[in-house]
Amino acid sequence: MSRLEQLIGNLNGRPFKIVDMPGREGERIGLWSLTLHEEEQARKGAYEFVQNVLKFSSLYLEFDEQRALNDSIICEVLSRALRDPDSSINPYCEDADELRKKLSSGEIQNLFNEYLIFAKERSVLKDVEDPVAEVERLTALVRQGFPIAASLSRFGSPSLRILLLTALDNLSQSGMTPESSVGSLPNDSAASGSGP
């Protein structure tokens, strides 16, 4: 079974990893993957914090080279991704403000680096030797009636992009044309000069 099939088959919980808490010997913390909705909420929260709490203008953000915004995004992401190592359902902190109060800037940066490593590990198609073979396995699962749509949110953007591009490439190589595809419009054949 491929790594992709294993991740898809694990519908009982999110991908979860326990790491050492940087700078705190013997202390551990959990990381779990964020959904696209949670990532969007993290970006939104960061913009709101920079504009409404720090009161930074767009001009100041440009002068600051977006550092304040990037730091805020990191805090918002970690406030959602950091979990109790013994129970992934329980968050490490209530929100990004509590995270800022609990951890130093160095600890936050080190934990974010761990999160990036975890996110890269989740991006399974980036690391496989043959993305075409993975897409074929995924297609076989779909043909068997496996509920694939529910688990696509588990994959990071790079994996989804590779998956989509590989599937589209397979589709184009199979001889599908706009005229023969299910989604073509009735006027497509008239516009292309071919008969009805």
HSE-up (13 A, CA, CB side) for residue 136: 5
Cβ atoms of residues 115 and 41 within 8 Å: no
The number of beta carbons lying within 10 Å of the beta carbon of residue 155 is: 22
Contacts of the segment 85-92: beta carbons below 8 A, 24+ positions apart: 85/18, 85/28, 85/29, 85/30, 88/13, 88/14, 88/16, 88/30, 88/32, 92/29, 92/30
Cβ atoms of residues 29 and 92 within 8 Å: yes
In order of their start, the domains of the chain are 14-123 (3.30.2220)
For each of the chain's 196 residues, which pLDDT tens digit applies?
455 544 444 434 678 889 988 888 889 999 988 888 898 999 999 999 998 998 988 888 778 778 888 999 999 999 999 999 988 888 999 999 999 999 999 999 999 999 988 887 776 544 555 667 777 777 777 777 776 654 455 555 666 677 778 878 777 777 655 454 444 444 444 444 444 4
* The overall pTM is greater than 0.75: no
